[in-house]
Structure 1
């Protein structure tokens, strides 16, 4: 039986800047590790965070969500977070969600504001499909 793919996190600090290198897959199971690693930088007083995603072979929306939460928390602390060397698939995910510009320049609106809390898996609500269209009188949709 194959073991599930893993995510490795490496961090290298220089003064108040950190280079966080991620290797592997970022999905629902590994996104909390991304979140915790980036939050740890802030707790350690790091306000400039560079994330090298060159070796990330897969990233789903839970991974993107972890990056966005880290971005908001970093901006609220007066810092910056940038993704470097994303794969074409990650670039596409960021582009499709319209979040690409957030990782290039932080909006001033976030500076000094309190970031939202990281959602607990217990409190997360599953996405639901909209209700099916009901037929109008006469069978017309």
Structure 2
């Protein structure tokens, strides 16, 4: 059985904000890794922008970790937003009702015309 793989790479660091590219699957196989690396990144910066353009799969475990990371960030006065969201993940966010939470400014406000979500 092949285990899922996920990599997180910090692409940019702009003051208190980190842009992190995720590549691979966000599922129960990678949930612990995503949570641990996300917590580590939030300790360095309370604002994360996650480029999910190369995320190939996401299940409820992946969504759960995103929600946990967002709660941690908001508790520290920060935010977690997603950018460059592929169609399969966009549908999952819309179905779960999490679209407004992750696709706006991190505070639940809808994305601006040319906002952080990039091409969807």
Query: Where on the TM-score scale, by shorter chain, does this alignment land: which range?
Result: 0.7 to 0.9
5+ unaligned residues in a row in structure 1: which ranges?
Answer: 108-141
Alignment of 1:116-131 (within 5 A): none
Task: Give the drift of 1:80.
Answer: 1.3
Kindly indicate which of the two structures has a greater share of residues assigned to helix.
Answer: 2
Q: Which residue of 1 aligns with 2:107?
A: 106
Alignment of 1:13-24 (within 5 A): 13-24=13-24
Q: Which residue of 2 aligns with 1:95?
A: 94
Aligned-partner SS, 2:33: helix
TM-score for the superposition, normalised by structure 2: 0.80
Q: Which residue of 1 aligns with 2:69?
A: 70
5+ unaligned residues in a row in structure 2: which ranges?
Answer: 109-120
CA deviation map 1:38-82 (0-9, x unaligned): 1112222x0211000000010111001110111111011101110
Q: 2:4·2:27 contact (CA, 8 Å) conserved in 1?
A: no
Task: Give the drift of 1:5.
Answer: 3.4
Size of the aligned set, in residue pairs, is 105
Q: 2:3·2:29 contact (CA, 8 Å) conserved in 1?
A: no
Kindly indicate which of the two structures has a greater share of residues assigned to strand.
Answer: 2
Instruction: Calculate the aligned-residue CA RMSD, in Å.
Output: 1.5
Name the CA distance, whole Å, in 1 between partners of 2:48 and 2:4.
25
Q: Which residue of 1 aligns with 2:28?
A: 28
Instruction: Give the structure with higher Rg (CA).
Output: 1
Name the CA distance, whole Å, in 2 between partners of 1:39 and 1:70.
7
Name the CA distance, whole Å, in 2 between partners of 1:87 and 1:55.
8
Q: Which runs of 4+ in 1 moved over 6 A?
A: none
TM-score for the superposition, normalised by structure 1: 0.69
